[in-house]
Amino acid sequence: MRRLTMGALVLAAGFAQAAMAGDVGQIKNAKGGVFIVRGGQEIAASAGTPLQQADRVVTRADGAAGITFKDNSLLSLGPDSALDISHFSFDEKDQPDVLEATLHRGTLSAVSGKIVARTPEAMRIKTPTTVLGVRGTEFFVKVTNPDPVK
């Protein structure tokens, strides 16, 4: 178990080394248990871990995580939260800017960035019951979800 955790940490450190073209942002703050689920694998996350589209960021009961996206949007999670980075595109040729994230459960704090400054509502937060079109700037979201989401 211990070895497994260490392996995951080494893996996360490896990701932190190279900022790749597919990266959409980075974990800047990680407190307590913070993980990324990518392609079915769970990766322990720490400050500097890059994020990609389709990643799920999960915090444990003692966890909290802060993310900065490439367009300078800021999102952070409180404990017991799960957020999918469903769709992100910024400054890509022939593609509209978009930041779409899905909060399955937990608490979210958000400050919009350049994507919303250019195109209001190009940032969307989906929850089990709603879609939030963001025109700016700072807001909080809480999702209480009786259906367990891993």
d(CA 125, CA 146): 19
How many residues bind other proteins (CB under 8 A)? The answer is 53
- Chain positions 14 to 53 lying near other proteins, rule: CB under 8 A, are 16-19, 26-29, 31, 47-48
Contacting other proteins (CB under 8 A), which of 8, 66, 86, 100? Answer: 66
Site string for other proteins, 87-126 (x = CB under 8 A): -------------------xxxx-xxx-------x-----
Q: Does 9 interact with other proteins (rule: CB under 8 A)? A: no
Contacting other proteins (CB under 8 A), which of 52, 53, 72, 86? Answer: 72
Q: Is 21 exposed, middle or buried (0-12, 13-18, 19+ CB in 10 A)?
A: exposed
CA–CA distance from 12 to each of 19, 40, 75 (Å)? 12, 15, 20
The one-letter code for the residue type at 12 is: A
State both tokens at 70. Answer: 């490439």
- Angle, vertex CA 145, rays to CA 141 and CA 150, nearest 5: 105
Contacting other proteins (CB under 8 A), which of 57, 64, 98, 115? Answer: 64
Q: State which residue, 40 or 98, has the beta carbon closest to other proteins.
A: 98
Q: Is 6 exposed, middle or buried (0-12, 13-18, 19+ CB in 10 A)?
A: exposed
Contacting other proteins (CB under 8 A), which of 57, 76, 82, 98? Answer: 76
Write out the residues near other proteins by the rule CB under 8 A: 16-19, 26-29, 31, 47-48, 64-68, 72, 74-79, 81, 106-109, 111-113, 121, 127-147
